[in-house]
Each structure stands twice: as C-alpha cells, then as structure tokens.
C-alpha cells in the first residue's frame, strides 16, 4: 500500500512498523511513582519512592509498592496518596515520568 503526501507527488511506501510504534506510544499508560517526603521544606528534607503505578486512558490506575507486597487498583491515580504520608512531617505525592505530551513533570498531591 502506498500513500501520497500532499507536499510531494511521489508516493511513499506505507511504514507499518512506524504505525505500530505510534499506536503503542499513543495508547501506553502513564508511569508514575509515589514519593514520600520527610520534613518537606526544611534543611533535613528527604524523599523515598514507595510505590510505582500505571495510569490508564480511562482514568483508572494500578499501583504496586516497591516491596512488592501491596497492590492497589484505583479509580484515579491521585487516590493512592491516601495510603501514604500519614505521619507527622511526612507527605506523599505523585511524580509523573510520562505525560500525554511526553514532557516529564511533577504533580503535587496532598496526602
């Protein structure tokens, strides 16, 4: 199968491998980490990754604790912070590694 580009009259061969790659890229779940921050906003601040998750296009998410002993299925990724950061001077947030536009960013979520 060939396609004709509007800028060029020469037909270009159909690149099936590229189409498959773009399908996978466009439908892949977003990867995020759950990070607990100790004493945030102080000189003694520290952080640790406590879980990893996948957020799907329908809004649902699956999360696994780094120890591998706990798993969650949630209606939304942001709901996972309810399970972490419950002590004094401790907060939890999501750190997104992938976004729909492929730019890395961080989203803070109150615990």
Taking 80 as the threshold, does the pLDDT of residue 102 lie above it?
A: no
- Each residue of 10-61: pLDDT tens digit? 678 889 999 999 999 999 999 999 999 999 889 999 999 999 999 999 999 9
Of all residues in the chain, the percent with pLDDT exceeding 70 is: 78
Domain boundaries, the chain: 28-107
Return d(Cα 61, Cα 55) in angstroms, integer. Answer: 4
Return d(Cα 62, Cα 55) in angstroms, integer. Answer: 7
Higher per-residue confidence, 7 vs 64: 64
Residue that has been written with the tokens 């401790």 in this structure: 90
Q: Which pairing describes strands 105-107 and 90-96: parallel, antiparallel, or unpaired?
A: antiparallel
**What confidence score (pLDDT) does residue 3 get?**
60
Q: Model pTM?
A: 0.73
**What confidence score (pLDDT) does residue 31 get?**
96
CA nearest neighbour of 93 among 45, 25, 22 = 45
Return d(Cα 78, Cα 91) in angstroms, integer. Answer: 13
Q: From the CB of residue 4, how many other CB atoms can be counted at a distance below 10 Å? A: 10
């Amino acid at each position: 199968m060939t396609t004709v580009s509007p800028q060029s009259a020469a037909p270009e061969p159909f690149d099936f491998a590229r189409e498959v790659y773009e399908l996978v890229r466009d439908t892949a779940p977003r990867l995020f980490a759950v990070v607990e921050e100790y004493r945030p906003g102080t000189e003694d601040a520290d952080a640790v990754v406590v879980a990893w998750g996948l957020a799907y296009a329908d809004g649902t998410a699956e999360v696994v604790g780094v120890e591998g002993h706990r798993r969650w299925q949630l209606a939304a990724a942001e709901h996972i912070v309810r399970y972490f950061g419950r002590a004094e001077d401790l907060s939890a947030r999501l750190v997104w590694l992938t976004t729909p536009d492929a730019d890395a960013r961080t989203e803070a979520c109150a615990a």
